[in-house]
Structure 1
Amino acid sequence: MGIRFVLKESINDVLKLESTHEFIVKCDVRPNTIYAMTHNTTKRVEIENLNKIVHTLNLIAANKGINKKFNLSDVMIWED
């Protein structure tokens, strides 16, 4: 299988955001990049973008009073 992106689940299920667009507005990453990740069509990942995404997930969680620290496994996972 390989790498599977779970960013969409983190955005929708954990943060309870209405849409991916709400996340894109707060994150300094190209909308097409976020869209590709949430639809598992990403071919290449920039480390800087991963840092920004995890940072934004944690900022939104803190602002919403969600007691969770996000990390890379909330963006992508490895599946056999």
Structure 2
Amino acid sequence: MRYWAAAKAATGTAEEPYAARTLAEALDAARRRHAGSPEFARVLVRCSFLVDGAPVGTRDHASVQLAEGGTVEVLPPFAGG
């Protein structure tokens, strides 16, 4: 998982590995891993996600399959253009 902007600040890391079959599983594991950061939980609910470069959009996170060795980008809202 790659964290950007406020998500990176809340986790204290730019990226970390995941072991999950779906985006929902990966995000649940990240929430548990960063349970000591209430800021992470607050930021995460406002994030959008890319899985292997493709936007997740409004799809149910449990339906988004993750490939082994793939990339999940965690993107908080950005200001500017």
Q: TM-score range by the shorter chain?
A: 0.3 to 0.5
More helix by share: 1
More strand by share: 2
TM-score by length of structure 1 reads 0.39
- The higher relative CO (CA closer than 8 Å, separation ≥ 6) is in 1
